Amino acid sequence: MNYLITIIGPTAIGKTSLSIALAQHFICDIISCDSRQFFKEMRIGTAVPNKDELNSAPHHFIQNKSIHESYSVGDFEQEAIAKLDELFTKNKVQIMVGGSGLYVDAVLKGFDDFPDIDESIRIQINTDFERFGIDYLQQKLKELDLIYFQKLTTENPQTLQNPQRMKRFVEVCLGTGKPYSSFIGQKKNSRHFTPIVIGLEAQRDIMYDRINQRVDIMINEGLLAEAEQLYPNKQLNALQTVGYRELFDYFDGKTTLEFAIEEIKKNTRRFAKRQITWFKRTENTMWFDYKTDIANIIECIENQFTSNNS
């Protein structure tokens, strides 16, 4: 039986160090499902593992794409599953780690099948979004798929503020002439592994303090220079993310540097809250305090192996 040990939790909680410790114990590889760490131009602001960490265990899907490439969660699902199929031939245990809930779900559960959409529709939606903003996408989805719009409003309101996902919902509606919701639940995804999900958590004040410290470290390591280099490409989807947007506003003369740094901290804390909300819905997760001894976590994992094989 193949096992995919999946480590989830909010940003700055210690997922990377735990993943490396587990990979060394089980002598296996690490699949990263942090959607911001895919891009090779974004290192400091995405908290990419350092050289020593990367050399401590084989890693995959870290800085393997360019911000100029189109790369969707569906693309990641296909590539990650193919890589896991390859890795499982060498070791029946593999590690996946990351804070991007949608990408975790893509690997663990998969997505429904959607038809290809004409490129002209995608271009028109992008043009309309540039002119009218997120309100246009929200109104369009409400018109084209009221059921799904109401579901998001009730269960996942932050998605209504996510331009990339909202564009996708609208383009499926326009490109097929059918509601986005009509394609959900049609496909059953098979997986050749059993997931064992480990969640890391901390008291909110501790988590916020760790986030604030991490942002200060990023600034000291050169985040300002990294963002300045990326500034000419600020319109790209990959750069619509915390840590860069705030500094782009500073470069635009809209804020002071001090204010921008405080905004990064505030928005990262908000992001962490959204991560917790998402991950708390993940079924059969074993939650641990971030300071739990690794030996205890390994024992719980190995107990899972035993119970599944009995």
pLDDT digits (tens, 9 = 90+) for 89-118: 999 999 999 999 989 998 998 877 777 788
14 assigned binding-site residue: yes
CATH number for position 244: 3.40.50.300
What's residue 310's pLDDT?
Answer: 66
pLDDT at 115: 74
d(CA 268, CA 290): 18
Which candidate, 41, 81, 45, 43, places its Cα nearest to that of 60? Answer: 81
Do the Cβ atoms of 243 and 230 come closer than 8 Å?
Answer: no
Exposure string over 95-109, b if 16+ CB within 10 A, otherwise e: bbbbbbbebbbbbbe
Residue 187 is assigned to a structural domain of this protein: no
Higher pLDDT, 243 or 178: 243
CB–CB of 34/99 below 8 Å?
yes
| pLDDT mean over 213-222 | 98
Strand order in the sheet with 30-32: 59-60, 30-32, 93-97, 3-8, 194-201, 285-289
Q: Is residue 188 domain-resident? A: no
Tell whether 16 is in a known binding site: yes
- Which residue range forms the structural domain that includes residue 125? 119-182
Question: Does 10 count as an annotated binding residue?
Answer: yes
Distance CA 171, CA 141 (A): 9
| Residue 189: inside a domain | no
Helix (H, G, I), strand (E, B) or coil at 284: coil
Please count the structural domains in the chain.
2
What mean pLDDT comes out for the span 42-49? Answer: 96
C-alpha to C-alpha distance for 276 and 269, rounded to whole angstroms: 11
Which amino acid is residue 265, in one-letter code?
K
- Read off the CATH number of the domain in which 159 is found: 1.10.20
**Cα four-point dihedral sign 247, 253, 257, 260:** negative
Q: What is the mean pLDDT of the chain?
A: 93
Q: Do the annotations mark residue 98 as ligand-binding?
A: no
Q: What percent of the chain has pLDDT over 90?
A: 77
159 annotated ligand binder: no
State whether 161 and 268 are in the same domain.
no
At 224, list the tokens.
Answer: 């300002």
- The verdict on 135 and 157 lying in the same domain is yes
Instruction: Specify whether 90 is located in the same domain as 216.
Output: yes
- CA–CA separation, 283 vs 286, rounded Å? 9
Q: Are residues 178 and 206 in the same domain?
A: no
* 0.85 surpassed by pTM: no
Taking Cα atoms as reference points, which of 160, 173, 158, 157 lies closest to residue 125?
173
Question: What would the pLDDT profile of 236-275 be if each residue is shown by its tens digit?
Answer: 988 989 999 999 999 999 999 999 999 999 999 999 999 9
Same domain? For 88 and 139 the reply is no
- Do 47 and 145 lie in one domain? The reply is no
